[in-house]
Structure 1
Amino acid sequence: MTNIPETGRTPRVRIRLVVLQVLVFSLLLTLGGRLWYMQIRNGQEYAEEASRNRVQQVVQPAVRGSILDARGVPLADNETRLVVSASRTELMKMKDDGKGVLTRLAGVLGLAPKEVMDKVRLCDADTPQPCWNGSPYQPIPVTDEATPKQALQIRERAEDFPGITAEPTAVRRYTAPGGARTAQVLGYLSPVTDQEIEKAKHSDSPFLRSDQVGRSGLERTYDKELRGKAGITRYEVDHLGRVLGEARRDPARPGSNVVTSIDARVQAVAEYELNEAMKAARKEFDRNTKRKYEADSGAVVVMEAKTGRIVAMASLPDYDPNAWVGGISAKDYAKLTGEKSNFPLLNRAIQGQSAPGSIFKVIPTTAAVNAGYRFNGRYDCSSSYSIGDRSFSNFESKGYGMIDLGRALEVSCDTVYYRLAHEEWRKDGGTKPKKNAKDVFYTTARQFGLGKETGIDLPNEVKGRVPDRRWKQDYWEANKDAWCEQGKKNGSYTERIAYENCVSFKDLRAGDSVNYSIGQGDTLVTPIQMATIYAALSNGGTLYTPSVGKAVVSPDGRTVDEIKPKARGKLPVDRKLLEQMGDALAGVATRGTAAWRFGGWPQDKIPMHAKTGTAEVYGKQTTSWFATYTKDYAIVMTIAQGGTGSGASGPAVRNIYDALYGLDKQGNQDLTRALLPQPQTALPKIQPDGTIDAPPVQPYKPGRPSGAVAKPKS
């Protein structure tokens, strides 16, 4: 056995000790650096995360404010329903994650187990609806339609349903007083999205995951006022999610009430009469298309002439807003949005745009006078008017000889306006416009408020269209490639049109101007635009911003924020011309194209002014328009593919006026039967406890207006 000298072993031991010391020092340095990074560099961030992990919040939804009509009748309020909810926190503590409990619950509620389980799962990027988008510590609603018997079963057998509650809860309700659904005006609610939560995070009104928000109509416009502020209870929890105690409680604050200018009684009449007019139109034969009219959609607006406030607004087809309460089913959603639905979610009073036909003629009449033509001058109302090899006919090819502009409005003579528009087009240089072309017919339309939104307090209003030179150029640039590719000079009708558009659409042609002068061609308007115009003709020329909201009132009724009428412009019409056109429009109702619909009307007591319109639409049947006003109201109705203005819309508009003023067909007025002989001015009173003494509204029946004013006592 050989002995290794002591002096040879010592260096190796020392090297090993040095390596070990370096390793230990490196580990200590790494640990110290990590501690510095976590506690100093990112200490605040981790502290906040730790704080969030310790405190979880449970939300108590605020009671949403009501939407009321002008007399305080609820159009949208809340009702108490038995809501069955599941505590996901409790379910996750069970061995089967609560599947057994949810299966038993489905049996009691008469639902499929999968349907119940889907509702209590949490939403994420890979989880489709239905799912829960709120806090996992929040009770998750399973149904808001539980019966008392079902709720009693759940409560009596609490040991079989741990984590399940059945409690009365306030749920949105759309009341349809007197049958007035007011669907597109009211809108509907649906759960808030992650994007909306993120966007509103730093605003003065942030969203909670449990919030329901307005998606259309008044529910959307006044969502912030209606929503109120949810109550929040904060609980301290450990790392396993077990509640240790309550940290803080902020009580819920109910939302404010929105009082509207809608009168539920008049709304019921408007909806009924529009529907009846469309049904009647479908029975009439269209000689042009050799089939009955389709009358597939329509709208009517009843507006206060002196304020622009909306008394009634109906759009068909419509829908039941209650379908959205508690979450809409896939089947119902398809019915509202599918290709065969005809899109009932659209509010055609503000989103339906079409050529206006002859109700537009008040605009070229004004344009002609402002261009220097005399209102009482003599103009040839021939049966047709020719430009080159193209002939433009008067309606039904009827001529009236030499007439003035007032008579042209009364009998709706197209050829008078053809001549005036063609002459002005030539003065402006035709297809080669002068540098400072006046284009007075187009400029006047914009002065009347067309080609832009009216500003009504409802979302998604459309602008319509004034097809002037600027629009023609922009539209040509956007479509020229497709037209030039499709067009053929000697091809089919569609190909020839595409070729013509490719070559010359950018030019304002003579045919464009004459078609425009009678509200045809590329001109598009909405019913709300035409209602504001006819209201302005009634009130002396002021264009008001139309409004549905009248006041926002606090839940206890103490704070009232009234929404005042706002003027947004004046018609380019002096007093003399207003009077002249007013006389002519009164003549339309007494001896012109609408006279047969206003037989027996008390013209001496309640002067009626009207204009009929029948707009031609390529590939479809004619659109019916009827525009009217008295000293109190303007009413405009339109029915797509419905026929003539006076034929399809006239009777319905007359019936709405009869209900407003309490008139029979002989023109006798009975104020005890009148719904609203004068516009409503006073606001309804809301009691300190939030209750409203609202009058009842009876369903409307022709000849018996709903909820008419009571007969005065002798």
Structure 2
Amino acid sequence: MTIPVMSAYNKFSHRKVFFFFLFSFTGLAFITRLFYIQIVDDKYKVSAEKNALRYIYDYPARGLIYDRFGKLMVYNKATFDLMVIPREIEKLDTTGLCELLGIDREEFDKRLKKAKDYSGYQPTIFDSDLPAITYSRFQEQQYRFKGFYVQGRTIRTYPMPIAAHTLGYIGEASPVVVEADKYYRPGDYIGINGLEKSYEKELRGQKGLRVVVVDVFNAVQGSYQDGEYDHTSVAGKDLFTTIDAELQMYGESLMMNKRGGIVAIEPSTGEVLAIVSSPSYDPNLLVGRDRSKNYIALQNDVENHPLYNRTIMTRYPPGSTFKVVNGLAGLQEGILDEKTAFPCFGGYSLGNHTVGCHSHPSPLNIRAAVQYSCNTWFCWAFKKFVDNDRFSSSREGYDRWRKYIMKLGFGHPLGIDLPNEFGGNVSEVDYYDKMKGNKQWRANSIVSIAIGQGEIGATPLQLANLTAIIANRGYYITPHVVKAIGSADSLNTKYMQRHETGIDPKYYEIVIDGMEMAVLSGTATNAQIPGLTVCGKTGTAQDPPRKNHSVFICFAPRVNPKIAVAVLIENSGYGGDWAAPVASLMIEYFINRKVERKDVEYRMMNAVLLNTKK
């Protein structure tokens, strides 16, 4: 049988059919895709028309900030920025734009390069916060400056030039921030310090976007696709603070020409009533076109450091205010009691060295020791605790003592809602092991910490919190500055938990007796307020070779306390001379809303205690 052989023609015929269908299918796929791109899906049309479109970000109004009584402390003012899209620049009148903005060609090139480095397509701020006259002239001549346009936004304004460290300030987001957080673009503003930083996400809101059509004359013709790609901005949330603006202003006036800080707290809630760091500055200086120049001037003030928040960032020796902490630890541990008495013959002897003390009755119990601020009594109290036979070593005794101190709010940040809070210092046993060269040290080798010197360091905030603990007879709520977010009744639930110190309330009453006695007839008589029971403790903290710091803590009234205050005035002398009167004036003003002791007020407000020497 003969097998038929396929001709060459038939072979190629089948191949032609195969390739015909292959190319036909491929062509149909391209046609379908092209139809979808051009007719169905507008996003490709938007991309194709990009040169004729402009993407304008709508910056929302930043949240307002109020004091505890609803008084406005921070609000917004409209301003305009000049934006640039480098790829859209055509036939630019560079000389005319430089003259309009008041810059030279070198500065122009520098700014344009910065914009190009970020993106040739995306808008970037070329000049911020345009003066009204510049804004008006640009609007009239914008056809000469294709690729440039004006965009509105708001800047901060402070009706009262107070609380700069607490309120903080805003500035341009750094390249690091822009890289890390896609919400921000070059030129965007962000909270840099204070509440502006702590509550940045709440205050900033959410940016909106408008896509508009621009003609060849650089003029906006309207929304693209009837606003289909637009989305509206969401305004930032308002902050309702715990600050008493009038008390804050009063405190700042008392601290004029002084270095140091004042912190006032409502004991029952932990709400910060005033927080004064001095020297300070007008927060309006860090707003607007002169912001950079003013910031550099403040930063270069190395004598006063006005940008530095002393109330939460400076670790001061607390001096004799710390004695009440030492006493409370001994009482709770059962090593001391209210009748424990020690004699004082002018100081506490350490071989060939003596921790000096001033003249007062002797012997004393703890109430009188607080009243007269006896160094000897509290050195003995510390020794009795740390070297006690109930512990295997002084190291163990000190570690036990330290746990009480930490519970009373020292040695760690308290968690206030302000950035850059420092935690002070209460050294661990390992530190003393290294310092002494062995583990056999005893209480006397570190006894200076018993009276708030040596390695003990505390911020004014920690001292005010200690005072609130005493006023509350054993607990505190984390000090905070923001009471509500969004609306006055949307309470900030983060700051409602009580922190117990583990010390029996009856021991606080003993210490409070001594603090009341100190004001009535002890070291703090300058803190007396007619008709009001004030309980306080003086401190005179050494700062060699300079003059001593004046320190004072107090609260009032004794029953149902309304305010706890800590004052520290650097290098000014005894605690009773300066810090005590200032603290008492703060209390008098807060409770009575006026001050009757005009002579004390005049002396404190007019005292110049800067650059004092020993």
TM-score, length-scaled by structure 1: 0.69
In the alignment, which of 185, 193, 218 is matched to residue 216 of structure 1?
Answer: 193
Contact 2:318 2:452 in 1 (8 A): yes
CA contact (8 A) 1:89 1:136 kept: yes
Answer whether contact 2:348 2:375 (CA < 8 A) is retained.
no
Go from structure 1 to structure 2 and tell me whether the alpha carbon gap of 1:589 and 1:119 turns closer, same or farther (over 3 Å shift). farther
* Worse-superposed segment, 65-74 or 514-523: 65-74
| Residue identity in the other structure for 1:592 | G
- Return the letter of the residue paired with 2:506: K
Report the CA distance between 1:634 and its aligned residue. Answer: 0.4
Q: 2:314 aligns with which of 337, 352, 356?
A: 352
Give, in whole Å, the separation in 1 of the partners of 2:165 and 2:404. 31
Separation (CA, whole Å) in 2 of partners of 1:403 and 1:104: 79
**Is 1:521 matched up with 2:454?**
yes
Residue in structure 1 matched with residue 98 of structure 2 by the alignment:
103
Q: Deviations over 1:135-194 (max 9, x none)?
A: 8543635242513x4444444455666666567642222332xx4x21110111122233
Question: Which residue of structure 2 aligns with residue 364 of structure 1?
Answer: 326
- In structure 2, the residue matched to 1:710 is none
> In 2, distance between residues paired with 1:663 and 1:93?
64
* Other structure's SS at 2:209 match: strand
Alpha-carbon distance between aligned partners in 2 of 1:504 and 1:50, rounded to the nearest angstrom: 77
- Residue pairs, 1:70-81, within 5 angstroms: 70-81=68-79
- Residue pairs, 1:159-558, within 5 angstroms: 169-176=153-160, 179=161, 181-201=162-182, 206-234=183-211, 245=224, 248-275=229-256, 278=258, 297-326=259-288, 331-338=293-300, 340-371=302-333, 372-394=335-357, 397-427=358-388, 433=393, 436-437=396-397, 439-473=399-433, 476=434, 501=435, 504=437, 508-553=441-486
Cα deviation digits, residues 390-443 of structure 1 (max 9, x gap): 22211xx4253111100000000000111222233333699x936854644322
Deviations 1:651-703 (A, max 9, x none): 222222221122777689xxxxxxxxxxxxxxxxxxxxxxxxxxxxxxxx979
Q: Is the 8 A contact 1:367 1:440 kept in 2?
A: no
SS in 2 for 1:616: strand
Contact 2:332 2:504 in 1 (8 A): no
Distance in 2 separating the partners of 1:658 and 1:68: 23
Contact kept? 2:394, 2:443, Cα under 8 Å: no
1:593 maps to 523
Whole-Å separation in 2 of the counterparts to 1:327 and 1:666? 43
2-side partners of 1:160 and 1:207: how far apart?
30
> Which sits farther off after the overlay, 252-261 or 436-445?
436-445
Offset, 1:222: 0.7
Deviations 1:249-277 (A, max 9, x none): 1111111101101111111001111225x
Alignment CA distance shift 1:198-1:507 (3 Å):
farther
The two structures have a TM-score, normalised by structure 2, of: 0.80
Question: Is the Cα contact below 8 Å between 1:262 and 1:310 reproduced in 2?
Answer: yes
Distance 2:109 2:464 in 1: 51
- 1:8-62 deviation digits (Å, cap 9, x = unpaired): xxxxxxxxxxxxxxxxxxxxxxxxxxxxxxx9xxxxxxxx999978767431111
The CA deviation string for residues 98-141 of structure 1, in whole angstroms up to 9 with x for no partner, is 4123223135xxx555445544542577xxxxxxx688543635
1: CA distance between counterparts of 2:417 and 2:189?
20
Is 1:79–1:170's contact at 8 Å kept on the other side of the alignment? yes
CA distance in 2, matches of 1:404, 1:162: 84
Contact 2:398 2:429 survives alignment (8 Å) = no
Structure 2 distance, partners of 1:401, 1:242, is 88
Q: Which blocks of at least 5 consecutive residues in structure 2 are unaligned? A: 1-32, 34-42, 606-614
* Alpha carbons 1:120, 1:142 under 8 Å: kept: no
Asked if structure 1 preserves the Cα contact closer than 8 Å seen for 2:125 and 2:187, the reply is no
Residue equivalent to 1:610: 536
Conserved? CA contact 1:58–1:233, under 8 Å: yes
Distance 1:586 1:259 in 2: 34
Query: What are the superposed Cα offsets for residues 171-224 of structure 1, whole Å, 9 maximum, x if unpaired?
Result: 222332xx4x211101111222333234334xxxx3344531111110011100
Q: Distance in 2 between matches of 1:209 and 1:664?
A: 48
Q: CA deviation at 1:636?
A: 0.6
Aligned-pair RMSD on alpha carbons? 3.6
- Matching residue within 620, 629, 632 for 2:555: 629
Instruction: Assess, with a 3 A threshold, how the Cα gap between structure 1 residues 619 and 434 changes in structure 2: closer, same or farther.
Output: closer
How many residues align? The count is 548
* 2:348 alignment partner, SS class: strand
